[in-house]
Structure 1
Amino acid sequence: MIITSDIDLALREQTALIAEGQVFILTDENTRRHCLPIVQQTLQLPEDRILTVAAGEEHKNLQTVELIWQFLVDRGATRHSMLINLGGGVITDMGGFAAATYMRGMQFLNIPTTLLGMVDAAAGGKTGFDFAGMKNQIGLFRMPKETIIHTEFLRTLDPHHILSGFGEMLKHALISSPLELMAISAFDIEQYINRPNDELQTEFEELISRSIDIKNYIVESDPEETGMRQTLNFGHTVGHALEAYALQAGEPLLHGYAVVYGMIAELYLSHLKLGFPERDLQQVISLMKQFYGKYTCPCKSYDQLISLMQHDKKNPSQDQIAFTLLRTVGNYRLGCVCTPEEIKEALDALFNC
């Protein structure tokens, strides 16, 4: 992974050995407008080698993946070509999957343009798309040739997308150590969003680098999620269910927000099942509520949410819902099976907190 303020040099180095006419770019409507011009200053690709797809989680589906495949076929891409995925997590997930399966695998380069993409989606080699109303049901593990982090792209984001990525940074801190949680809790994210300055930018870039290091250490220790990597799923069992529920209701929820709400519920389960300290529980929930507000969901939808959780990839079977829970900050336990009654109690705590 390359973290740089000189994206020109990084792009030249990563594309130097690719044959002329064999580099392609995948963007969405947002990154085409805000980020593509920066990349094009270096690459200067003709328009017919750039594919722009609709933005948003609702378009992370097989139909969009087919568009990418057809785009590559129509332009004579080979196994020796390169696809540059320029965008947030939706783009890097789908583009990575399309490239990894095209002609049994072509090279791809990830350039995440959102905070969420930088600290989560573009790292770790997970690729895929949503299917049958559920998150990331189809996918595979495939590492990109490289991931380029250009923090200047953060200046193109609105507050909600900054907070979405910050939610995953909170997760990394919670599964890592009290020291990491203290560092991220002390950062003035509100001032960074509303009144940024060079000092805050430098401090935030350091936190981003530390968050990426946490994920990379875990991924390198367990690349195919057979053990330790499951800690990265903290907050995601409930979070993915909320995300799918919101998408089905036609009111999409940003991934980082869903994960934060999922962590609130799963911290409650951690307290209930493993004795996660009450004081720490209240402090973390207070921090999360301060920036992410309250999410509402009627009790009559609990069974629908639990049904969505039953289809989670991490479950040992469809009639058992498993969670990664915390004994204390940085002290995790994998595969904690919870009953529907316990989950409903946690959902009550989430929606009424």
Structure 2
Amino acid sequence: MQTIQANGYSIFFNENCYTYLSETLQSDVYSKIFIIVDSETANYCLPDFLANLATEVPIEIIEFDAGEVFKNIETCTQIWQALTELGADRKSIIINVGGGVVTDLGGFVACTYKRGIDFINVPTTLLAMVDASVGGKNGVDLGNLKNQIGVIQNPKAVLVDTHYLGTLPQNQMRSGLAEMLKHGLIQDYDYWRQFSDLSNLNTDDLNALIHQSVIIKNNVVTQDPTEKGLRKALNFGHTLGHAIESYCLENENKTTLLHGEAIAAGMILESFLSLKKGFLTDAEYHEIKYVITDIYPTVSFTENDINSIIDLLIHDKKNEFGKVKFVLLNEIGAVKTDQDIENGLIFKAFEDYKN
């Protein structure tokens, strides 16, 4: 797969990743390498990564507990303290090896330690490969509120080695697939159509889909790196999806959802809103709903759940002047941003989602 050029950095794939690393991690450039992992990637991915890391530069491993609940400022403080105790300086480099929690949090740690040191992202989940590690967004959650604290700062490089996907359970693969579906829905109808039948998908097919998904996201963020306009399109499904994810994370009576599982529900709900606003046809909406529900189980919501989810919308980062702003589909492959939606229509979306 060809290397993709982004804003000031490159996205390398498979064998090209380690060629780049060996050329970059020279002892006269970096004083020390710090590899940040969580407890899952420490077990399943770190040994392979270290086996491919050819360098004479001293290496330190910093590990934290796996899970969205640890994507917070307290974990950052622990890692900043570890960096200090282990002698990290401004000529050190951080390599984040893991899923979206690791790349988001590790990137934020790097951007803020000593006012910023170099970092490289090595995404090991499908979700991180096609979404979290591309585009320069780094940050942590504030309580149950997703990604409320952070900065936009690009890594030195992103290294996508798809062999790490062999370590993932099916639910994690489905979680990443949601963002790939989204990329088709917002930008590329032909790409979307490739997901209508995944029964004969092989490794080469998956690699090609991942590569194209990264191209789509990179094209968007390259044109609008700080989310002033076009980049808002990437939030399709995320206004309600993030609220659902946050609600399930904080409510002990609800099953915690993976990011992609919540976004899948959000995409169906926001496609219904697009239909009712006159942007999507009935045929387009039912095609979207059929494809997504064929991959993801329907989540159950009570009336109280829905009220609580709507209350969480006020914290969405796209909001302006206290108003919730939605990204809706104008058709499959195009979007309308900054859309106002009444709460009554959101309730109707949830009602249709259940049926």
Both proteins in one fold, TM over 0.5: yes
**Which amino acid is the alignment partner of residue 106 of structure 2?**
G
In structure 1, distance between residues paired with 2:279 and 2:39: 46
Q: How far apart are 1:287 and its partner, in Å? A: 1.2
**Given that residues 115 and 166 in structure 1 are in contact (C-alpha distance below 8 angstroms), is that contact kept between their aligned partners in structure 2?**
yes
Q: How far apart are 1:182 and its partner, in Å? A: 1.2
**Per-residue Cα deviation, 1:120-154 (whole angstroms, up to 9, x for no partner):** 00000000000032000001101000000001001
Q: Does 1:144 align with 2:146?
A: no
In structure 2, distance between residues paired with 1:115 and 1:17: 32
Aligned to 2:51: 41
Call closer, same or farther: CA 1:91–1:18 in 2, change over 3 Å: farther
Q: 2:177 aligns with which of 159, 166, 188?
A: 166
Aligned to 1:112: 123
Aligned to 1:261: 265
Call closer, same or farther: CA 1:343–1:4 in 2, change over 3 Å: same
Q: Does 1:330 align with 2:333?
A: yes
In structure 1, distance between residues paired with 2:275 and 2:79: 45
Q: Does 1:57 align with 2:62?
A: no
In structure 2, distance between residues paired with 1:138 and 1:30: 24
Segment drifting more, 44-53 vs 228-237: 44-53
**Which amino acid is the alignment partner of residue 262 of structure 1?**
G
In structure 2, distance between residues paired with 1:307 and 1:98: 31
TM-score (norm 1): 0.93
**Given that residues 137 and 151 in structure 2 are in contact (C-alpha distance below 8 angstroms), is that contact kept between their aligned partners in structure 1?**
yes
Q: How far apart are 1:215 and its partner, in Å? A: 0.1
Q: Does 1:341 align with 2:344?
A: yes
Structure 2, gaps ≥5 residues long: 1-10
Q: How far apart are 1:184 and its partner, in Å? A: 2.8
Q: How far apart are 1:210 and its partner, in Å? A: 0.4
**Given that residues 326 and 337 in structure 2 are in contact (C-alpha distance below 8 angstroms), is that contact kept between their aligned partners in structure 1?**
yes
Aligned to 1:270: 274
**Given that residues 96 and 121 in structure 2 are in contact (C-alpha distance below 8 angstroms), is that contact kept between their aligned partners in structure 1?**
yes
Other structure's SS at 1:43 match = coil
**Given that residues 88 and 114 in structure 1 are in contact (C-alpha distance below 8 angstroms), is that contact kept between their aligned partners in structure 2?**
yes
Other structure's SS at 1:325 match = strand
Q: How far apart are 1:10 and its partner, in Å? A: 2.9
**Which amino acid is the alignment partner of residue 41 of structure 2?**
T
**Which amino acid is the alignment partner of residue 94 of structure 2?**
L
**Per-residue Cα deviation, 1:237-270 (whole angstroms, up to 9, x for no partner):** 0000010011002432100111110000000000
Q: 1:66 aligns with which of 48, 55, 77?
A: 77
**Given that residues 5 and 151 in structure 1 are in contact (C-alpha distance below 8 angstroms), is that contact kept between their aligned partners in structure 2?**
no
Structure 2 matches for 1:171-190, cutoff 5 A?
A: 171-188=182-199
In structure 2, distance between residues paired with 1:105 and 1:61: 18
**Per-residue Cα deviation, 1:57-85 (whole angstroms, up to 9, x for no partner):** 11111111111111111111112210000
Aligned to 2:231: 229
**Per-residue Cα deviation, 1:11-68 (whole angstroms, up to 9, x for no partner):** 2123225656510000011111111001111337999810111111111111111111
Q: 1:295 aligns with which of 299, 324, 328?
A: 299
Q: How far apart are 1:349 and its partner, in Å? A: 1.9
In structure 2, distance between residues paired with 1:40 and 1:48: 10
In structure 2, distance between residues paired with 1:141 and 1:122: 12
TM-score (norm 2): 0.92
Other structure's SS at 1:332 match = strand
Segment drifting more, 62-71 vs 205-214: 62-71
**Given that residues 31 and 58 in structure 2 are in contact (C-alpha distance below 8 angstroms), is that contact kept between their aligned partners in structure 1?**
no
**Given that residues 274 and 326 in structure 1 are in contact (C-alpha distance below 8 angstroms), is that contact kept between their aligned partners in structure 2?**
no
Q: 1:28 aligns with which of 23, 38, 51?
A: 38
Aligned to 1:9: 19
Q: How far apart are 1:297 and its partner, in Å? A: 1.3
Aligned to 1:248: 250
**Given that residues 104 and 140 in structure 2 are in contact (C-alpha distance below 8 angstroms), is that contact kept between their aligned partners in structure 1?**
yes
Q: 1:153 aligns with which of 153, 164, 169?
A: 164
**Given that residues 31 and 91 in structure 2 are in contact (C-alpha distance below 8 angstroms), is that contact kept between their aligned partners in structure 1?**
no
Q: How far apart are 1:342 and its partner, in Å? A: 1.4
**Given that residues 30 and 92 in structure 2 are in contact (C-alpha distance below 8 angstroms), is that contact kept between their aligned partners in structure 1?**
no
Question: Percent identity among equivalent residues?
Answer: 37
**Given that residues 184 and 207 in structure 1 are in contact (C-alpha distance below 8 angstroms), is that contact kept between their aligned partners in structure 2?**
no
Other structure's SS at 1:338 match = coil
In structure 2, distance between residues paired with 1:215 and 1:179: 15
**Given that residues 239 and 261 in structure 1 are in contact (C-alpha distance below 8 angstroms), is that contact kept between their aligned partners in structure 2?**
yes
**Given that residues 112 and 118 in structure 1 are in contact (C-alpha distance below 8 angstroms), is that contact kept between their aligned partners in structure 2?**
yes
In structure 2, distance between residues paired with 1:176 and 1:67: 40
In structure 1, distance between residues paired with 2:171 and 2:58: 31
**Which amino acid is the alignment partner of residue 36 of structure 1?**
L
In structure 1, distance between residues paired with 2:237 and 2:41: 28
